[in-house]
Structure 1
Amino acid sequence: MQLISETGASFPSGHATATTIFYGFIGVVLMLSAVRLSRVVWTGVITFLLIALILASRIYLGVHYPTDVVGAFCYGMASVFISIAAYVRFQQPLIDLLERFNLTDQSKLLNQKRRGIY
């Protein structure tokens, strides 16, 4: 007996993909901003468990097959890592472009305030 009625199946699961991307980005940003290794590890573990529980609920409700959810997780995490890599790759050229137009880079100010340099 299903808990909800299924209206259609898709591969990969849209809900699982959105969940993975949303919470994956939040987790990666929190991990990159953490100073201590223990916080990085705990943030990663909590983020993974949150995503896993939501994805497991999609299977439990009978809305998706496990392959739909695994595919969505892989697609979502690939999106997160490719986006972070693109940000890191193009960060310096964008900073140079801002300086060329005499604009201040607000991320530098935030990093300096956080480290107590400002």
Structure 2
Amino acid sequence: MTIKRWVRWVLGAALVGAGVVAWLSPNYEEAQAATDRQTVDCMVKQLTQDDKRSIAQFADTNDFNALWHAYDRVFADCTVRGDQRDRKSELVTSAWRVLSTDREFMHLREADAAHAALGH
């Protein structure tokens, strides 16, 4: 088993465990919000540098297909509950908002904009 696969299993088990605990809590809406935050954080952390570069390249042109493609790859590994599949667009939008405030990602966007301004 590769290290990457092992990390996915551990991360998945941790997310499922946290999801079960949150789901059993008395306040379901609070639990849902907590597991959604975990899923969004996981989706942002699972993006590779190439994913981020690709998203940065198309962010200013509002190419949502590129955005969805990058998040499609990590969504299945990060979902905790089945109902999150029904709200995938909301979770991807939240992950995009989190990513767009990341300092490293902002630098990627600025570099891509500068590159585009030079006509490359």
Q: TM-score range by the shorter chain?
A: 0.3 to 0.5
Give the structure-1-normalised TM-score: 0.39
Decide which structure has the larger Cα Rg and report it: 1
Give the structure-2-normalised TM-score: 0.39
Bigger relative contact order, structure 1 or 2 (CA pairs below 8 A, ≥6 apart): 1
Larger fraction in helix = 2
